[in-house]
Amino acid sequence: MTEPLIFEYSSASRQGFVADSDARPNLLAEVLRTDELMLPSASELEVVRHYTRLSQQNFSIDTQFYPLGSCTMKYNPRVCNRLAMLPQFLGRHPLGPVEHGQGYLQTMFELQEMLQVATGMAAVSLTPMAGAQGEFAGVAMIRAYHESRGDEARNQIIVPDAAHGTNPATATMCGCEVVEIPTREDGDLDIDRLRAVAGSNTAGIMLTNPSTLGLFERQIEEIAAIIHAAGGLLYYDGANLNAILGKTLPGDMGFDVIHMNLHKTFSTPHGGGGPGSGAVGVTERLKPFLPVPFVQKVDGRYTWATEEQYPQSIGRLSAFMGNAGVLLRAYVYMRMLGRTGMERVSDFAVLNANYLMVCLREAGFEVAFPERRASHEFIVSLKQIARETGVTAMDFAKALLDYGFHAPTTYFPLLVPECLLIEPTESESRRSLDGFVAAMAKIRDAAYSDPDTVKQAPLTMPVRRLDDVHAAKQPDLVWQSAESGQRKG
Amino acid sequence: MPFVPHTESDISTMLSRVGVAALGELFDEIPAGLRIKGLEGIGPALSEAEITQLMQMRARHDGEPLCFIGAGAYDHYVPAAVWDIATRGEFYSAYTPYQAEASQGTLQVIYEFQTMLASLTGLEVSNASLYDGATAFAEACLMAVRANRKNRSRNILVPRTLSPAYREVARVMLKGQRIELVELPMRDGISDLKTLDNLSAGDFAAVAIQNPNFLGSLDHVDVLTDWAHSGGALVIGVANPMALALLKPPGQWGAAGADIACGEGQPMGIPMSSGGPYFGFLVCRQAVIRQMPGRIVGRTVDLEGKPGFTLTLQAREQHIRRSRATSNICTNQGLVATAATIYMSLLGAPGLRSVATSCNANTSALVEALIALPGVTRSFAAPFFHEAVLAFDRPVAGVLDALSSNGILGGYDLSADYPELGNALLVCATEMRSAADISAYADTAREILGAAA
Amino acid sequence: MSEVPESCLYTKDHEWLRLEDDGSVTVGITDHAQEALGELVFVELPEAGAGLGVGDACAVIESVKAASDIYCPVAGEVTEANASLTEEPELVNSSPYGDGWVFRLRPEDAKALDQMMDAESYGRFLAEVED
């Protein structure tokens, strides 16, 4: 079952793809390397088999229900991939003249416009390459805005305690101080605490709405009023945009700047960890600070906006124009949905979440906020089961793998003990949701009848539970061949 | 309905189970004043056939000009197997491998990726990728400031010959933390070593060295590395992995080698694709691993003692350390790194050396062909890998426009980034450019230069 | 119930301090803290000679699932760090008040120790936290 490392296939004489050249480099020997490169020398078929077999050791949306909370693992339509990989798009050099890119630039311009409509923002830049970089762009714009007005003391970013880790990490990267605000029992923000901390040092607040608890923040208008009155700005973390698409707009809620995870809401693939896209949108007053480049239309011709045109821009975030191929996939997806399809995304993402929540509650599971409506995701707490049987949320996660379901997000948000954050997305049928409920119930029954077996899970995966402590204490991050041996990487 | 599987009967069953009469009621916690009627301004849906026709038309409109631009993105041949395998659904539609037992495929690929990058750069440990070369450089600067225990400097010495885009991105990303880039001047297309006499390495957390540099030239990597280390600065080597098939890697520069290496991974099987997605790589010495940003995969054992792979050293990362994490990065470029791993596996060391050598030879041939034209000379004498700077007797922009209308992208105009170089053009001919392509460029350029003169 | 020796003083950040005969102060994390973190995999130590102020983040204690900063409880100069933790971070788990100490410092003002909780107060504090 174990697939060897690609290096272990190697035989010195073989090479998968023959690039023929008799040429010798026109360079002095002193600049050349003399050591052996640790690269495989396997045949093409060996390489193809090796990576195909490795792929088969993955769970994926194409093969399993993947209800990972906060990650929006919806179906990634194949046609989006095919059209983003048209040879002319793949072959286009990023610094090529716009005359050889009008088709591509028009597509990007229309994507910017669609994202503006979907979020209620005045302008969009597509350059951030992932959600965290979108966050960086957002906080950097907030800082630039305050600085442009000579209001330089504002260095605090307010973040709810339930926020994604990227929010406080981003604030730190931007040189800001993080002020954490607690969440109330009912899942909304502690607004009295917010009132107490908002003031002349407040640069802004970073909020996800619906929150990471899977709840719509009902006091959002009041929060916006408090922050704006204090002179701060509101940043919208678009991780959960799938829940509200076509129902309400971050712009109307009072947000000044937002990022969107196109790899969540707009269905570009997660690719085993990326690439993503964290496009940012802003209201009119932050427009001068948008990261360049973005596409503009002048006299029917599409061109890139530059630093010269936007001297107050926070600048560039990538060597070129961001993750173009991801943006093409998002564009294709949005055009295929159209207006009605886009509005239905949130209808069915939220229907699926509420249906799954009700089914799990009726099956006897404890839902974290039973009196609230779920957004596109919700939290189950396994605290009682853990106390009574010793079977934890992590054990449930591993046991679900044996039932052919990817685990929900575990132990996040940190506020709810032994939690599973479950996000089914609109892609899943009732049948797969019912199957998940049945598996959860079986694992729960097993937790009471035979907890030791549940704690052994998974039993059907390529490996059993891995020793994380060993991995961290004696990091083995790079393979060493038996011959090259001694130096341990 | 596109991409929603429910039948009408499913919907009514589900609504009644939830206890609402209509879909709209599911949104009853959104204040009424914030509800909208829908997304006016978004057009009607297109069918798969319609969107296919539209995108094909736009792609055709952009054409496939003959590309002699490099400047950080390179037109290499990508074997068919690379993206055929990388876009298998099991790689394409998987998430970050947090559930290790259900993600051994992605994890093992990244472990192999880390091994290949460590070998190419001559360093010890690699992460699982960053966004692109520019952000990898910025992260390397941040990492160096944290890792340097010999001084508390927040300055990084950066040659003027280092990619202008990388310097700009680093400036943007370092600004909030008050880390400054100090410019090392250039002379004849490489770092001006004379200016080191007026500087003290101890005033810098790190010295960055790009080799080959943005202008294609090979720099004084050994002298600069030893100078930096003598004063207690760390060395950040910025490299093109294709060049590393031939050139002495950062880990072997000077007496002790660079401490951190980073760069753009695009040449390893990634199409130019209008600038992305590419991937940045970041590799370092074991001693500074805890300052590394981004995900890292380690090999360990399962409870039966069988080898397996898992994300490790996660306490550095934002989902655990929050405001005190090494970086805010979460999503990286996993799928692109997967493609690069397959590419490097298919080519192996001899294949990469062969491609790199062809690039070097083709660019040499291109330079010879172009300097044979009247009014074109080489700007610098320094040896180059696969890019070189040519000086023209007239503004480059007009020449490039004329070439472009003949379906040739003639290079990158340096006049905005390096006005001191005059009418300077950065050209590149990868292994993809045949002798006929090079002749076509030279012949067209001859006509353009002759006609205008 | 975790161990709380009488011989130490405590902070709300679950650090302990012990005044040694030579006037230096030894600092570590409490039994409660090590248990909450789980098996430790890495400890980043302060360097001897470093001058620290109250509240300075001066060491990092890592398990697989968490990383925790140690904030300097009293101002002073670091005289020694427990080098054996570099190879054996698990000493903090097995012997938090003994071989698992983290660093020693010479306090600027020994009176600062008066601000700390004694074993009894920390015990009460723990009872509230664990509730």
Average pLDDT over residues A52-61: 98
ipTM > 0.85 (yes/no): yes
pLDDT reading at A37 higher than 70:
yes
Q: Would you state the pLDDT for residue A16? A: 65
* Distance between CA atoms of residues B362 and B432, nearest Å: 9
pLDDT reading at A13 higher than 80:
no
* Distance between CA atoms of residues C47 and B255, nearest Å: 27
What chain A holds in terms of domains, given with CATH numbers, is 1-18+37-53 (no CATH), 79-336 (3.40.640.10), 345-471 (3.90.1150.10)
- Within this chain, do residues B105 and B191 fall inside the same structural domain, yes or no? yes
Number of helices (H), then strands (E), belonging to chain B: the values are 12, 17
Mutation target to probe the C interface, by most C beta carbons within 10 A, among B313, B317, B323 is: B313
What chain C holds in terms of domains, given with CATH numbers, is 9-109 (2.40.50.100)
CA quadruple B313, B314, B318, B324: dihedral, nearest 10: -40
Please say whether the beta carbons of B223 and B248 come within 8 A: no
Tokens matching residue B350: 């001899």
Q: Would you state the pLDDT for residue A487? A: 40
Angle formed by the axes of helices B104-121 and A44-55, nearest 10°: 130
Subunits with 3+ C-beta pairs closer than 8 A to B = A, C
Average pLDDT over residues B176-192: 96
In chain C, what residues touch B320 (CB-CB under 8 Å)? 65-67
Average pLDDT over residues A210-220: 97
- Within this chain, do residues B358 and B448 fall inside the same structural domain, yes or no? yes
* Distance between CA atoms of residues A407 and B102, nearest Å: 9
Q: Would you state the pLDDT for residue A486? A: 40
The pLDDT confidence band at residue A36, using thresholds 50, 70 and 90, is confident
User: For residue range A271-294, what is the model confidence (pLDDT) as tens digits?
Assistant: 999 999 999 999 999 999 999 999
Determine contact: A87 vs chain B, CB below 8 A: yes
Q: Would you state the pLDDT for residue A488? A: 37
Average pLDDT over residues A68-92: 97
Distance from CA of B108 to the nearest CA of A (A): 8
At B339 the three-state DSSP class reads: helix
pLDDT reading at C130 higher than 90:
no
Which residue of C lies nearest to B325 if distances are taken between CA atoms?
A: C67
CA quadruple B338, B428, B158, B266: dihedral, nearest 10: -10
pLDDT reading at A54 higher than 60:
yes
Average pLDDT over residues B204-216: 98
Instruction: Look at residue B107 and tell me if it is in a domain.
Output: yes
Percent of chain A at pLDDT above 90? 91
Q: Which H helix or E strand runs over C19?
A: strand C15-19
Tokens matching residue B65: 């000009």
Q: Would you state the pLDDT for residue A481? A: 77
Closest CA to B410 of B392, B431, B385: B392
- Within this chain, do residues B271 and B299 fall inside the same structural domain, yes or no? yes
pLDDT reading at A414 higher than 90:
no
Instruction: Look at residue B148 and tell me if it is in a domain.
Output: yes
In chain B, what residues touch A343 (CB-CB under 8 Å)? 38-39
Q: C18 has which bridge partners?
A: C26
Instruction: Look at residue B58 and tell me if it is in a domain.
Output: no
Q: Domain limits at B374? A: 66-75+348-452
Q: Would you state the pLDDT for residue A26? A: 83
Choose the final residue of a domain: B342, B358, B389. Answer: B342
Which residue of C lies nearest to B313 if distances are taken between CA atoms?
A: C64
CB contacts < 8 A (B, C): 20
Instruction: Look at residue B307 and tell me if it is in a domain.
Output: yes
pLDDT reading at C118 higher than 90:
yes
b (16+ CB within 10 A) / e for B400-425: bebbbebebbbbbbbeebbeebebbb
Q: C57, B324: Cβ pair inside 8 Å?
A: yes
Q: B316, C42: Cβ pair inside 8 Å?
A: no
Q: B315, C57: Cβ pair inside 8 Å?
A: no
pLDDT reading at B389 higher than 60:
yes
In chain B, what residues touch A21 (CB-CB under 8 Å)? 354-355, 357-358, 361, 431
At B148 the three-state DSSP class reads: coil
Q: Would you state the pLDDT for residue A22? A: 60
In chain A, what residues touch C89 (CB-CB under 8 Å)? 473
Q: B109, A51: Cβ pair inside 8 Å?
A: yes
CB contacts < 8 A (A, C): 13
What CATH number corresponds to the domain at position B441? 3.90.1150.10
The pLDDT confidence band at residue C50, using thresholds 50, 70 and 90, is confident
pLDDT reading at A373 higher than 80:
yes
- List all residues of chain A from 429 to 468 with a beta carbon under 8 Å from chain C: 468
Instruction: Please name the member of C44, C47, C63 whose beta carbon is closest to the beta carbon of B290.
Output: C44
- Within this chain, do residues B139 and B228 fall inside the same structural domain, yes or no? yes
What CATH number corresponds to the domain at position B206? 3.40.640.10
* Distance between CA atoms of residues B317 and B324, nearest Å: 9
Instruction: Look at residue B12 and tell me if it is in a domain.
Output: no
The pLDDT confidence band at residue A23, using thresholds 50, 70 and 90, is low
Tell the residue number behind the tokens 């004696």, with chain if given. A474
pLDDT reading at A19 higher than 70:
no
Instruction: Look at residue B22 and tell me if it is in a domain.
Output: no
Choose the final residue of a domain: B304, B320, B342. Answer: B342
Determine contact: C67 vs chain B, CB below 8 A: yes
Residue ranges of alpha helices (H) inside A363-392 are 383-389
- Within this chain, do residues B298 and B407 fall inside the same structural domain, yes or no? no
* Distance between CA atoms of residues A365 and A379, nearest Å: 10
User: For residue range B135-159, what is the model confidence (pLDDT) as tens digits?
Assistant: 999 999 999 999 998 888 999 999 9
Determine contact: A344 vs chain B, CB below 8 A: yes
Q: B207 has which bridge partners?
A: B157, B235
Instruction: Please name the member of C41, C67, C69 whose beta carbon is closest to the beta carbon of B320.
Output: C67
- Within this chain, do residues B293 and B244 fall inside the same structural domain, yes or no? yes
User: For residue range B403-427, what is the model confidence (pLDDT) as tens digits?
Assistant: 999 999 999 999 999 999 999 999 9
Distance from CA of B199 to the nearest CA of A (A): 26
Instruction: Please name the member of B314, B320, B324 whose beta carbon is closest to the beta carbon of C69.
Output: B324
Distance from CA of C3 to the nearest CA of A (A): 23
For chain B, how many structural domains are there in total? 2
Distance from CA of B453 to the nearest CA of A (A): 24
Mutation target to probe the B interface, by most B beta carbons within 10 A, among A21, A242, A470 is: A21
- Within this chain, do residues B159 and B105 fall inside the same structural domain, yes or no? yes
Instruction: Answer with the residue of higher pLDDT: B452 or B440.
Output: B440
Subunits with 3+ C-beta pairs closer than 8 A to A = B, C
* Distance between CA atoms of residues B344 and B355, nearest Å: 12
Distance from CA of A76 to the nearest CA of B (A): 7
For A305, half-sphere exposure in the C-beta direction (CA atoms, 13 angstrom radius) is 26
**Length of chain B measured in residues:** 453
* Distance between CA atoms of residues A181 and A173, nearest Å: 20
Distance from CA of C64 to the nearest CA of A (A): 6
Cis peptide before A269 (omega within 30 of 0): no
In chain B, what residues touch A476 (CB-CB under 8 Å)? 298-300
- Within this chain, do residues B154 and B248 fall inside the same structural domain, yes or no? yes
- Within this chain, do residues B243 and B109 fall inside the same structural domain, yes or no? yes
Tokens matching residue A430: 């009732």
Q: A27, B385: Cβ pair inside 8 Å?
A: yes
* Distance between CA atoms of residues C50 and C70, nearest Å: 15
Residue ranges of alpha helices (H) inside B322-434 are 334-371, 396-405
Burial of A318 (0-12, 13-18, 19+ CB in 10 A): buried
- Within this chain, do residues B210 and B333 fall inside the same structural domain, yes or no? yes
In chain B, what residues touch A336 (CB-CB under 8 Å)? 2, 45-48, 51
Distance from CA of B357 to the nearest CA of C (A): 44
pLDDT reading at B134 higher than 50:
yes
Q: Would you state the pLDDT for residue A485? A: 47
The pLDDT confidence band at residue C66, using thresholds 50, 70 and 90, is confident
Please say whether the beta carbons of C90 and C39 come within 8 A: yes
- List all residues of chain C from 84 to 113 with a beta carbon under 8 Å from chain B: none
* Distance between CA atoms of residues A54 and A45, nearest Å: 14
Which residue of A lies nearest to B83 if distances are taken between CA atoms?
A: A85
pTM: 0.96
Q: Would you state the pLDDT for residue A226? A: 98
Sign of CA dihedral A227, A232, A234, A235: negative
* Distance between CA atoms of residues A129 and B83, nearest Å: 20
Which residue of B lies nearest to A481 if distances are taken between CA atoms?
A: B115
Q: B315, C63: Cβ pair inside 8 Å?
A: yes
Determine contact: C89 vs chain A, CB below 8 A: yes
Q: Would you state the pLDDT for residue A20? A: 57
Please say whether the beta carbons of C98 and C106 come within 8 A: no
Please say whether the beta carbons of A84 and B52 come within 8 A: no
Distance from CA of C52 to the nearest CA of A (A): 21
Determine contact: A170 vs chain B, CB below 8 A: yes
* Distance between CA atoms of residues B320 and C64, nearest Å: 10
Phi and psi torsions of A164, nearest 5°: -60, 150
* Distance between CA atoms of residues A340 and A187, nearest Å: 31
The pLDDT confidence band at residue B178, using thresholds 50, 70 and 90, is very high
Choose the final residue of a domain: B320, B342, B364. Answer: B342
In chain B, what residues touch C65 (CB-CB under 8 Å)? 314, 320
- Within this chain, do residues B218 and B330 fall inside the same structural domain, yes or no? yes
The pLDDT confidence band at residue B330, using thresholds 50, 70 and 90, is very high
Average pLDDT over residues B328-338: 95
Sign of CA dihedral C113, C116, C121, C122: negative
Which residue of A lies nearest to C90 if distances are taken between CA atoms?
A: A473
Residues 6+ positions from A387 with CB-CB distance below 8 Å: none
Q: Would you state the pLDDT for residue B188? A: 95
- Within this chain, do residues B237 and B378 fall inside the same structural domain, yes or no? no
Tokens matching residue B143: 């990492």
Tell the residue number behind the tokens 């090392």, with chain if given. B184
